Chains A and B, each alone.
Chain A
Amino acid sequence: MDYLDFIDTIQSLADGVLFGATYALLGIGFTLIFGVMHKLNLSFAAASIGAAYASLLILAGVKAPPVLVFLMAAGCGGVIGGLVYLIGFRFIPLANPLATLMSTVGLLLLIDEIIVHTTAGVPLSYPALFSDVIIRVGPFNLRGDLMFVFMLGCLCMVLLLLLLYRTRLGLATRAMSQQPVAAELCGISTMRVNILTFVITGVVGGIAGAMIGAAIGMLSPLLSLPLTVKGLIVTVIGGLGSIPGAIIAGLLVGGLENLFQYWRGVSERDLYIMLLLFVFLVFRPGGLFAPAAGRD
């Protein structure tokens, strides 16, 4: 491998890791909901894209600065998260995991179709921040917009970890995920914790959706299915219910994906990510940070 090849390899790895921050946020969303409710919310990635769309459409009339669009995406994400809980989980008996799985699939299709219906299926361009800044480190270029996305992702993760480990709500959430019955006996309201978890993951998802829009430069309803698959893969590689795992797995998947794309072309890229997942399932089914086997 000559020098230029080496530079390009490292460059694509770096770009991938920076973009991987969005996968990490999606993975965190899946993991949090699964941790609290032991249920899979398949509509999460679609809801994230939906929140990014909503922010664009609401601020379409005014010439809003990109920062405001990002904040609006987070807010819309929270609202959509709450709605997803009410429609897809609230009135369905929790003892039946298949029913909520199916209702979230229905919501995924519904959100996609609402997007297609309101925008006639045309991709919208999304504002990026710092897209004209390029930082040069030796022979490498770091794109300003990807750097910003990465920083924002890291900030979200730190805030989320603080929320989970330093606040009463975080304590309640963690109690709920460990022992739901005991938590309820201690006076924690299941429904309140559940709905707050959905709102918080919705906010995270909205930010992730805005970050994806900013990094790719546009939004399309076609994004939601591939992102759902990627988010699930990140969740499993990182270990279910583990937030640090989801972060590291997100960056890993983002980096490797770009690397495979550089080596083998875009049509074979995802094939190797799936194989990577299978390697993990066979040799380390608990993921990177498998939690120690609990008492129950």
Chain B
Amino acid sequence: MDFYFGLIQIIGVHTLLGLSAYCVLQTGQVSLAQAGFFAIGAYVAAMLTVLAQWPLVPALLLAGIVSGAMACAVGFPALRVKGLMLVVATVAFGEAVRLFFFNFNYQLERGELYIGPHGGEGFRQIRYFPEHGWSTLEVALFIWVVVVLAMAALWWMDRSRAGAVLRAVGEDEFAAQSSGINVTAVKVSAMTVGGVIAGVGGGIFAHYTTHIEHIQFGVVLATFAIAYPILGGLSNVFGTLLAVIFIQGFLIEGLRFMGDWRNLLFGGLIVLAMNVRPRGLIDAGTIAALKRVVLRSKEKAGA
């Protein structure tokens, strides 16, 4: 049973990562820096709980704030460029963060052990959950509370004026600008919100894996982050969730029985999905179709 709770935890954390990229993609910007914010959140939260002995929730909040501030600071120079240049700039930022942690040493002596991040060896002994006696189920529930909160917040934002503004910038920047929207401010705030979510997600990730190292936060993780919302469709937060379940649950865990062939299928199925559904698994058409079905059944019930 613990295996399934573990899978649910992974899906939860990756959903947070996907949602952080979802925010930025809404404004039409492709950011591969999410893995960098995720790494910052992971290291900050882990250092707070392990070295400074903070409780988990404040540590996660501060990790989110630090990552958000970093995202805001990076957003200003990076968002001067767009399209391909932004992709490259954010890849470079993510890699720079990773290489920073690769060379980052800050260890304290505690009894027999040295604890804290130690360069290429990574950061061991992040034992908040075992030390405080959380079971796998409780950890999974905690993660999903955070995920549901983040999804609800984004769902509400999508339906509010802020969501409309984000989409306007994403659809047509010039039109948005000429109708009086401050494009830079919108993009930087989307980046900041994405940074906060990624930071919180990274903090949780550090605590359930108990050991983090620089290599986990490379370009591959950044590509996964944008893969979820793109594969799932950008019209709805549930698209991201569906894509995470599709990739983590089906492609990675569900296909394990195929052994070596699983990795081959992985790339192939992503290519196939993009060929068959270029606008994502859940696009505007799907939602319209769903609404029609619901309306029809209501009419029938009424008649």
Say yes or no for A107: interface residue by CB 8 A criterion.
yes
Structural contact, B274 and A103, CB atoms closer than 8 A: yes
Contact between chains at B263 and A117 (CB < 8 Å): yes
Tell whether B164 is near chain A: CB-to-CB under 8 Å: no
8 Å CB contact of B103 from A109, A228, A268, A275: A268
Say if the beta carbon of B120 comes within 8 Å of chain A: yes
Residues of A within 8 A of B226 (CB): 101-102
What residues on B are CB-neighbors of A114 within 8 Å? 264
A93–B278 CB distance below 8 A:
yes
Instruction: Determine how close the nearest CB of chain A comes to the CB of B98; give it in whole angstroms.
Output: 9
**CB nearest neighbor in B for A107:** B271
8 Å CB contact of A99 from B83, B95, B260, B274 = B274
B91 pairs with A229, CB closer than 8 A: yes
Separation in Å of the B78 CB from the closest CB of chain A? 7
A9 to B: closest C-beta gap in Å: 22
Q: Give the number of residues in A that approach B within 8 Å (Cβ atoms).
A: 46
CB-defined contacts of A93 to chain B, threshold 8 Å? 278
Does B89 count as interface, using CB distance less than 8 angstroms? yes
Task: Report whether B92 and A278 are in contact in the complex, using a CB–CB cutoff of 8 Å.
Answer: yes
CB of B197, distance to nearest CB on chain A (Å): 19
Complex Cα–Cα for A56 and B92 (A): 32
Q: How far is the CA of A126 from the CA of B273 in the complex (A)?
A: 36
Q: Give residues 259-290 of A contacting B (CB, 8 Å).
A: 267-268, 270-271, 274-275, 277-278, 281-282, 285
Q: Does the CB pair A101–B88 fall under 8 Å? A: no
Q: What total of A-B pairs shows CB separation below 8 Å?
A: 130
Name the prevailing secondary structure of the B interface residues: helix
Residue among A105, A270, A271 making CB contact with B227, cutoff 8 Å: A105
**Which residue of the partner chain, among B89, B91, B270, contacts A103 with CB atoms under 8 Å?**
B270
Complex: A236 Cα to B260 Cα, angstroms = 36
Decide if B270 touches A275 in the complex (CB within 8 Å): no
A112 to B264, CA, bound (A): 9
- Chain A residue nearest to B270 (CB atoms) is A106
* 1/0 contact string of B252-282 vs chain A (CB within 8 Å): 0000000010011011111101110011000
Contact partner of A235 (CB less than 8 A), chosen from B88, B100, B231, B267, is: B88
Could you mark each residue 202-227 of chain A with 1 if its beta carbon is under 8 Å from any beta carbon of chain B, else 0? Answer: 00000000000000000000000100
Are B84 and A98 neighbours in the complex by a CB distance under 8 Å? no
From known contacts A106-B267, A267-B103, A285-B80, infer whether A98 and B91 are also in contact, taking CB-CB under 8 Å.
no
Are the CB atoms of A110 and B268 closer together than 8 Å? yes
**1/0 per position for B79-98, CB-CB distance to A under 8 A?**
01101110111011101100
Asked if A184 is at the interface (CB within 8 A of a chain B CB), the reply is: no
B89 touches A278 (CB 8 A): yes
A281 to B90, CA, bound (A): 11
* Contact of B141 with A by CB under 8 A: no
B166 at the interface (CB under 8 A from A): no
Flag if B88 contacts A274 (CB, 8 Å).
Answer: no
| Cβ contacts under 8 Å, B268 to chain A | 106, 110
With A99-B279, A102-B231, A229-B219 given, is the CB distance from A277 to B103 under 8 Å? no
- CB pair A99 B92 closer than 8 Å: no
> Could you say which of A87, A100, A105, A270 contacts B99, with CB atoms under 8 Å apart?
A270
Residues of A within 8 A of B234 (CB): 98
Q: Are A117 and B260 in contact (CB under 8 A)?
A: yes
Q: A113-B266, A114-B264 are in contact. Are A240 and B85 (CB under 8 A)?
A: yes
Contact A102 B267 (CB under 8 A): no
Query: Is A92 positioned at the interface, with any CB of B under 8 Å from its CB?
Result: yes
- The answer to whether B92 touches A233, judged by C-beta atoms less than 8 angstroms apart, is yes
Residues of B within 8 A of A98 (CB): 25, 30, 230, 234
From known contacts A102-B231, A267-B102, infer whether A113 and B95 are also in contact, taking CB-CB under 8 Å: no
Per-residue contact bits, chain B 209-224, to A (CB 8 Å; 1 contact, 0 not): 0000000001110010
Interface residue? B55 (CB, 8 A): no
Question: How far is it, in angstroms, between the C-alpha of A91 and the C-alpha of B219 when the chains are bound?
Answer: 27
- A51 an interface residue at 8 Å Cβ cutoff? no
Given A40-B87, A96-B279, 16 more A-B residue pairs with CB atoms under 8 Å apart are A92-B274, A97-B83, A101-B30, A101-B87, A102-B227, A106-B274, A110-B267, A113-B264, A229-B219, A233-B88, A236-B88, A236-B89, A240-B84, A270-B95, A274-B96, A281-B80
17 residue pairs from A and B, CB less than 8 Å apart: A93-B278, A98-B230, A99-B279, A105-B270, A106-B269, A107-B267, A109-B267, A113-B263, A116-B263, A117-B263, A225-B219, A229-B95, A267-B99, A271-B100, A274-B99, A281-B77, A285-B81
